[in-house]
Amino acid sequence: METIITTSVKKAAEFIKKGEIVAFPTETVYGLGANVFNEEALKKIFLAKGRPQDNPLIVHISNVDQIKSLVKKITDSAKIIIEKFFPGPITIILNKNDVIPDLVSGGLNTIALRMPSLELTRIFIDECGVPLAAPSANLSGSPSPTTWRHVFDDLNGRIPCILKGPKCSVGIESTVVDCTKNIPVILRPGIISLEDLKKFFPIVKIYNPHKTKKPKSPGMKYRHYAPKAKVILIDSEEDFLRYKFDKNKAAFIGFIRVKDFKKSKRVSDLNDYAKNIFNFFRKCDEEKIEYIFCQKVSEKGLGLAIMNRLIKAANS
């Protein structure tokens, strides 16, 4: 299959209208989208990515009016998030309407909804005329794509079209919040943090996947965010110096950290870290790096989301 790369929203939307899949930019990571109501098109997403079918997709909307037709009920917790954070890098989970194909929800009775803040994404969804169900536009198991080049590297020849847009400004996937009950539960941390949500809710919970057998957010059980190298998390330069390498082998080493170990709490540093982490993992793969040392950050604000991705990469 030939993969067309275009900056034309109209041209890309033609593919969606024909029942095809298209990779498109958002502020978090690039998505691989299909018409949410077209089962044949949805199947192509799983095929192109090599994604297990019980891993659900996020439905991307361009307008809050579209939510009514997708869910059973908009709960009070959802209403607050929609009002305070939409459009933005946050996804809400609600009970789904029966018209939603099972492939979208991975067999769950819930649906994930997000309205991206990148205007280009909303213009694209508008042009398609339907909400787009989309996971990240990478091969299953590799780091999420934050540039159109990353999408091309993973999916060239496997998808018909890439809508070319800017490098993702956030760089990690959206915060996912279960809003089916009145107390919101963070299923996946992101740039919209626990602290941000607490400004509008007396209680916010964080879901702990180790406490239950059946993960609430099925994607969390799969290998994720992983470069080919061994990922080692460190607190200091001394930790790095103490690391014992295999003496018989030359080691190629990658190193990602904020500018100054001692000032790791600066917000702009954390934003930079998040924005570059997946790009860095991909570069390390290209350069055949064998060990990647990543500086741990404090699990506050965006730090919680960064550590979530780092721990997954280190445990893969």
Q: Which residues of the shown chain bind ligand AMP in the complex (CB under 6 A)?
A: 55-58, 93, 105, 108, 110-112, 135-136, 173, 176, 187-188, 216-220
In angstroms, what is the minimal distance from the CB of 240 to ligand AMP?
30
The C-alpha angle 193, 190, 77, rounded to 5 degrees, equals 60
**Using the 8-state DSSP alphabet, how is residue 210 labeled?**
G
Nearest to ligand AMP of 91, 295 (CB atom): 91
Residue 121 corresponds to which tokens in the numbers above?
A: 């994404």
Pairing mode, if any, of strands 205-206 and 185-188? parallel
Binding-site size, Mg ion (CB under 5 A): 2
Per-residue b or e along 274-303, where b marks 16 or more CB atoms closer than 10 Å to that residue's CB:
bbebbbbbbebbeeebbbbbbbbbeeebbb
Would you give the binding string for Mg ion spanning residues 127-146, x where CB under 5 A is met? Answer: --------xx----------
Nearest to ligand AMP of 84, 216 (CB atom): 216
Applying the rule CB under 5 A, the residues between 44 and 103 that interact with Mg ion are none
In angstroms, what is the minimal distance from the CB of 144 to Mg ion?
6
User: Per CB under 5 A, does 308 bind Mg ion?
Assistant: no
Nearest to Mg ion of 136, 279 (CB atom): 136
Q: Are 289 and 252 in contact (CB under 8 A)?
A: yes
Q: Work out what residue 112 binds among ligand AMP, Mg ion, none; the CB cut-off runs from 5 to 8 Å by kind.
A: ligand AMP
Q: Are 29 and 168 in contact (CB under 8 A)?
A: yes
d(CA 309, CA 287): 21
Residue nearest to Mg ion (CB): 136
Q: Work out what residue 108 binds among ligand AMP, Mg ion, none; the CB cut-off runs from 5 to 8 Å by kind.
A: ligand AMP
